[in-house]
């Protein structure tokens, strides 16, 4: 039985391959990417089949690097009724780029995706949620590049990213630009991550389901959930020489991920970011929160 049928949540997939994750950057040179076995196409196709089976739609934040090499995959995403959005071109953290380099990255990725798919790309997610208090100029750059929303500021405390004092729900962060953060649950004056990724693989499914239901009950707002295609790939090549922490974070419970996603798709309603957050009503709600934003 589905939970809170009146609320449609946003399901998001960050389309990148296993060797492109930020945690592997110290171990895998970018010059090696084309030499690695690329498994993203088969994994995204599995996800597309799972979504179709459960009558769910999603937003695919896709790397330009992937789109350039697998244009037919990008078209299959759009043909399946899903939203195509940008994850930048080469999975470079925004915090590692200058303003000019960041603009070139997001402008190039947006144009590439639009040319391949023939649709407008309105959304962007920074690799590793790498927009925060130290580089808020990136929001102006996204506005300049023509994006309508971002999902790049995670309002949690984390050793690699996060801005715990940022708003928890969609808000107008620049004129014509909305920030739609991944979902957190507020408990004991702290934001707890409850929106996917490694947290979803680590925690028991029943706890993840409870957290999303609590967000619905307490905040009456749609959730934003995210995961990656490599998280459903048990047979992906194992990267050697990585630290214990990196190994644990990347590989924990990968064998359970696809089954858990099936439960998630059946227990909640899921849709596209643009359909949920770019409607006139959603825009008005986000604009009403503009005065509360401690970022600008």
pLDDT digits (tens, 9 = 90+) for 58-104: 999 999 999 999 999 999 999 999 999 999 999 999 999 999 999 99
CA-CA distance, 236 to 248, in Å (whole number)?
Answer: 15
The whole-model pTM stands at: 0.93
Q: Which helix (H) or strand (E) element contains residue 185?
A: strand 184-187
Tokens representing residue 24 in the block: 């592997």
CATH number of 8-292: 3.20.20.370
pLDDT tens per residue, range 185-240 = 998 888 888 888 888 999 999 999 999 999 999 999 999 999 999 999 999 999 99
Relative to beta strand 190-193, strand 184-187 is antiparallel
CA-CA distance, 164 to 16, in Å (whole number)?
Answer: 26
């Amino acid at each position: 039985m589905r939970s809170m049928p009146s609320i449609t949540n946003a399901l998001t997939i960050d389309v990148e391959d296993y060797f492109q994750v930020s945690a592997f950057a110290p171990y895998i040179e970018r010059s090696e990417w084309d030499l690695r076995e690329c498994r993203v196409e088969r994994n995204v196709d599995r996800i597309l089949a799972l979504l179709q089976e459960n009558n769910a739609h999603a937003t695919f934040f896709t790397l330009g690097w992937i789109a350039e090499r697998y244009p037919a995959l990008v078209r299959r995403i759009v043909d399946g009724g899903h939203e195509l959005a940008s994850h930048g071109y080469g999975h470079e953290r925004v915090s590692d780029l200058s303003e000019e380099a960041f603009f070139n990255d997001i402008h190039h990725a947006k144009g590439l995706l639009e040319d391949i798919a023939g649709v407008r790309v309105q959304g962007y997610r920074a690799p590793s949620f790498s927009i925060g208090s130290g580089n808020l100029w990136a929001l102006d750059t996204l506005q300049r590049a023509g994006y309508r929303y971002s999902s790049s500021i995670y309002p949690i405390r984390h050793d690699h990213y996060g801005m715990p004092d940022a708003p928890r729900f969609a808000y107008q962060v620049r004129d014509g630009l909305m920030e739609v953060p991944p979902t957190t649950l507020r408990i004991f004056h702290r934001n707890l991550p409850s929106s996917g990724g490694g947290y979803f693989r680590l925690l028991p499914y029943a706890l993840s389901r409870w957290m999303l239901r609590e967000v619905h009950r307490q905040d009456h707002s749609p959730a934003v959930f995210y995961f990656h295609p490599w998280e459903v790939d048990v047979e992906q090549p194992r990267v050697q020489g990585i630290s214990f922490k990196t190994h644990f974070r990347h590989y924990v419970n990968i064998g359970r991920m696809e089954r858990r996603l099936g439960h998630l798709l059946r227990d909640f309603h899921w849709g596209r970011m643009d359909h949920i957050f770019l409607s006139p009503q959603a825009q008005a709600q986000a604009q009403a929160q503009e005065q509360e934003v401690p970022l600008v």
